Structure 1
């Protein structure tokens, strides 16, 4: 019991200690709460006091950052402006004084600064942009002058004839200078972007200087082409190669090709064609003017100088082909320059046909000895000469189409209007020329045949005249380059013309045929056979009446008179060798058997006295064989 009470007393004491501690904790808690309240009030007071100061500090930091950025921007803006003064000292000088490399570097720096200022978009930079742009323009102009000076050093006019005669290469800008020019051109092009379709400033300088060089170099060849066209004898026919146009074309081809090679070394690929065209423009204008002057000369002397037109067409076409092959350019420019002469060459084909027709139709007299007219040889000489110009002629004929030269309006046409036939690019050029040649020969012979009927009296004379002209035609074909060209077309027509001329000539001998016809019959004996058996002329005559004998006598007398007259005419006619031989054979084949048959029957009419029978068979045979 005592122990339990002692335990309760101890626990009671501990509880009292705990209660006492609890009271202390409550008192401490109240104090803490009071302190927290005072701290909260103090915090709000501090926040209210310090808050504005903190906000101002943040704004000041932002302002500082912005100011720093502005200073950096100002520094960047000032850098080009500061640089301008330095670069201006360089760019205002001549490049050769400061050194080309340093000068170009200054231009590059200025160009970069200008681009930077333009990209900034700041209005305050506009004045500086303008100043730098002006400075860059000054530098570019100075570079252009240096570019011009370098180009001029290798642009002294030359005499192309020396290169042509020696077969030497045409001079070009040296490799070192080309490299220098290429560098300068690159920087000028970078500084000044040319509008679409326009040349860069350096390209314009190049085209001007080199264009003048080419034009001056070729001017003597142009003058020579015109001077060699003039003739001492106005009727002289143009001879191939006698005009200077061939040398002129060779000079153009050589100089233009060399110039293209120079351009390729200096400028960029997309500029080559335009710069070549601009550089050669002045020389091409002179060339076109020269061709126009030659064209006027040809038109004024079409009959003798149309061959010059064909030669020019061939030479200029060949030059155009080679230039296009080497450069890919100038085809249209050269084609335009050649166009007037090509049109004249076309019209010449019709002109020559019409000239042949007109001259024959206007002929008021033909040779009374039956000789060939000079026009026949002239026309055939034209065709012979044309064979020397087959390439250009066949090209022209293809553009006209087969038979297009017969159009009477072609000679007066100022434009080339295509026809369906002209689109036949696969046409055989030699065949077209053969057709034209036969049209020319047909025009000559058909019109000449009509005039011989009108102007010449007597079938024999008409026949001899036509035979002689046909013989000239045939001979001049056979002895020239016309032979293979006309092998399949000419001979059948010429054979027909020869046969017609022969028949016309032999029509003049028909009177002999009428006289030698044996129509006399006797009442006492049958008509002698025509078997070739020997005939007793005396016996035959005995069976005839005196009246029939008188008829035979008159026939012999008539034969003698007509035969002598025809033989005299035959010998008096002027015949080509082959014509005389041919017609002599025809006369022999016709007269000799006819007379021999009549003579065998009736030669005893004058008993060998020769009063009526002037010729025996042998004598007549000798005469006709001699023809």
Structure 2
């Protein structure tokens, strides 16, 4: 047992010794490796110190090479437009008539881009090339502008607006094919113009071409309407009032609106959105100048015939203002130019309101005679006709009167400055109607007060003066009731009633004389005085018998005087020329006064001549019939 164990231990001991021997060798090897590493680190550091500058120089060389490559590329790009000029020059010099339009515009685009690239390079050596390319681009653009002009001229033949207005047809517009071509040309010319412009202001030649050609088309098309508006204003009858719609200004405005809106439809697909308004305004400017000239000529005519043709001024204000509102709502333009063109006529319209009042007053004051039959005079009906005509123009009148202020028509000072832009929106509300009612009242007050003053001077007798006033009041009232004045002048009824009562009182003043003859004296202290009331108390025979001779003579004289005065007044009443309602009203008033007085007097004293009719000319029925005939 011992021998085998010793053998095992000896073997294990030998292995341990081998292991220790290997570990020693490994330790020695590790030291050698560490020494090698140290030596390698020192060598690497030496190599790094030696190679570092070489590596840095290599990187700089790489960067330099890269920059050189980029410069070469830039030079190639810069030279490319120069090389391209010769290629594009052939196309652009040939012109759009020999080269398809799309190809021509493509060449123009490439030339525009080449010029832009050259300008960005900002190299002095390229300035000559920039000049040459600019000349080429200018030539190409000019030829494209000529094409733009030719296309427009092909569709610029003037039209007859009346054809479209009377048949209610839309005004002609450019075809979609034409507008597409024009849009393409405009966009290319615009891009080229930006490169060719020497300043910040963009002057687009196509815009100028458009508003010159199309502007002339519009002006020429509307010229006949302008001439017709002026010629139709000429008067054939000097004192005839202007009648609504008899001037061509309404048709002129219709033509302007139709052709302007059609032109706006043409402009929108051709030009950029922010250019629509300016191009449209520039295109229509020439025709607007013609329109302003026409309005000035009409204004001159109105001023020369102010009392009859001021109504044309009101009509023009309404028509033109509404035209401005509609155009502005559709295009955003024309408000201020049209307002400016309307200023002279608006000022004339303001002045006319004062002049109408002055004319009414002066026409009455200048009369040297009045009708001796008490009939009305033409001034009254003329004044009412003018007021009736004014109601047709309440919309513009409301605006004008508002600018003058309530009562401003009675002075020569307008409350609104003529340089201000008037409101073009008409709103005939309560205020506008009230202002008109005040104006009409002022005119009628002036008319009636001057008529009364003139009648006192030229007519003999208050009775005739009363008939004259009553007749004029009747005409005024009748013409108010039979027109649009009635709802506007309800408040003036009380004033007319006052004037009617004044005329009636003046007329009845003459009937005091026969009325006075029907009054008698009764003595209440006499036993045989008549009893009051009842038929029995008016026994004419008993009353006459109770009278003394002097009293009888006095009663006879009263009957004679009454008959003479009554017959004279009846004759005079029948000689007056009265309006139907005046004759009926004054007849009733006379009957209400005379009939009861005469009836009482006749009941008491008709037996004074015992039925012979020597003193008592009328019995009660005869007098009633005569009085009834006065109406």
**Are 1:274 and 2:308 counterparts?**
no
Q: Is 388-397 or 273-282 further displaced after alignment? A: 388-397
**Contact preservation (8 Å) 1:438, 1:489:** no
Deviation digits for residues 509-553 of structure 1 (CA, Å, limit 9, x no counterpart)? 111222222125487546434425341223323333322322222
CA distance in 1, matches of 2:88, 2:502: 99
SS of 2:535's partner is: coil
CA distance in 1, matches of 2:58, 2:557: 162
* Unaligned stretches of 5+ residues in structure 1: 1-46, 48-53
Corresponding residue of 1:44: none
CA distance in 1, matches of 2:614, 2:404: 70
CA distance in 2, matches of 1:104, 1:414: 55
* Unaligned stretches of 5+ residues in structure 2: 1-49
Corresponding residue of 1:229: 233
Aligned match for 1:374, one of 365, 378, 382: 378
1:62-81 pair list within 5 angstroms: 71-81=72-82
**Are 1:596 and 2:611 counterparts?**
no
CA distance in 2, matches of 1:408, 1:147: 56
**Contact preservation (8 Å) 1:401, 1:424:** no
**Are 1:364 and 2:368 counterparts?**
yes
CA distance in 2, matches of 1:315, 1:226: 16
CA distance in 1, matches of 2:420, 2:329: 28
Corresponding residue of 1:611: 614
Change in 2 beyond 3 A, CA 1:357/1:409: farther
Aligned match for 1:509, one of 511, 522, 536: 511
Corresponding residue of 2:533: 531
Deviation digits for residues 339-375 of structure 1 (CA, Å, limit 9, x no counterpart)? 2112222222221111111111222211110001111
Deviation digits for residues 292-338 of structure 1 (CA, Å, limit 9, x no counterpart)? 10111111111211111111111112211211121121111111112
1:453-472 pair list within 5 angstroms: 453-472=456-475
Change in 2 beyond 3 A, CA 1:378/1:63: closer
Aligned match for 1:238, one of 238, 242, 249: 242
SS of 2:465's partner is: helix
SS of 1:428's partner is: helix
Corresponding residue of 2:156: 155
SS of 2:80's partner is: helix
**Contact preservation (8 Å) 2:398, 2:428:** no
CA distance in 2, matches of 1:425, 1:232: 33
CA distance in 1, matches of 2:76, 2:367: 102
CA distance in 1, matches of 2:542, 2:392: 72
1:278-357 pair list within 5 angstroms: 278-357=282-361
SS of 1:469's partner is: helix
TM-score normalised per structure 2: 0.85
Corresponding residue of 2:574: 571
Shift of 1:150: 0.9
CA distance in 2, matches of 1:68, 1:491: 103
SS of 1:471's partner is: helix
**Contact preservation (8 Å) 1:400, 1:418:** no
1:390-405 pair list within 5 angstroms: 390-405=394-409
Corresponding residue of 1:20: none
Shift of 1:499: 1.5
Deviation digits for residues 550-585 of structure 1 (CA, Å, limit 9, x no counterpart)? 222222221111111100000000001111111111
**Contact preservation (8 Å) 1:147, 1:184:** yes
Aligned match for 2:544, one of 523, 526, 541: 541
Corresponding residue of 2:178: 177
**Contact preservation (8 Å) 2:91, 2:99:** yes
**Contact preservation (8 Å) 1:343, 1:416:** no
**Contact preservation (8 Å) 1:460, 1:508:** yes
Shift of 1:128: 1.5
CA distance in 1, matches of 2:371, 2:228: 43
Deviation digits for residues 398-424 of structure 1 (CA, Å, limit 9, x no counterpart)? 33233322224459x9937899xx999
Output the aligned Cα RMSD. Answer: 3.1
Shift of 1:397: 2.4
